[in-house]
Amino acid sequence: MAAHILVLSPDTLVAEVVAEALNLEGYGVTHSVYHDRLPVEAQEASCDLLLFDYGGGAQPLGAGLLPAVQDLMAHTAAPLVIITTTPPALEAQASWIQAEQIALLSAPFPLDTLLAVVQTSLAQSRAAKRYSGS
């Protein structure tokens, strides 16, 4: 069974391009555009990986959005990959990112880099599940 990936982005084009690239690699993908909060479908989705575009495109990151993603992560065992065009904006979240072993991907990036990060994150998640017996 193919892994299912939830792509969240404030930019429709980014969400569609990333979703198409992942679909072509055989992944199941749900993509959703957000503005200042997570959309309902993102809160209800079941996935194997969360791919979160942190403030990409023209829309700024909403003040309460990162806590919402943290809450979403608390309800799923899915690993998180954060795409960012502004790595310094994440400095305040560095300890959380490190503790949760979140993968960071600085945009722009080639699609093969995205695919490698996705594959690695999914493999690490599967290994952790096998190790923990879940």
Parent domain of 23 = 4-132
Q: What confidence category does residue 47 fall into, taking pLDDT thresholds of 50, 70 and 90?
A: confident
Phi and psi at residue 45, in whole multiples of 5°?
A: -75, 150
pLDDT tens-place string over residues 20-35: 999 999 999 988 887 7
Q: What confidence category does residue 106 fall into, taking pLDDT thresholds of 50, 70 and 90?
A: confident
> What pTM, to 2 d.p., does this model score?
0.78
Give the CATH number for residue 117.
3.40.50.2300
Q: How many domains does the chain have?
A: 1
Q: Which of 48, 24, 19, 30 is nearest to 121 (CA)?
A: 48
How far is Cα 95 from Cα 133, in angstroms, rounded to an integer?
27
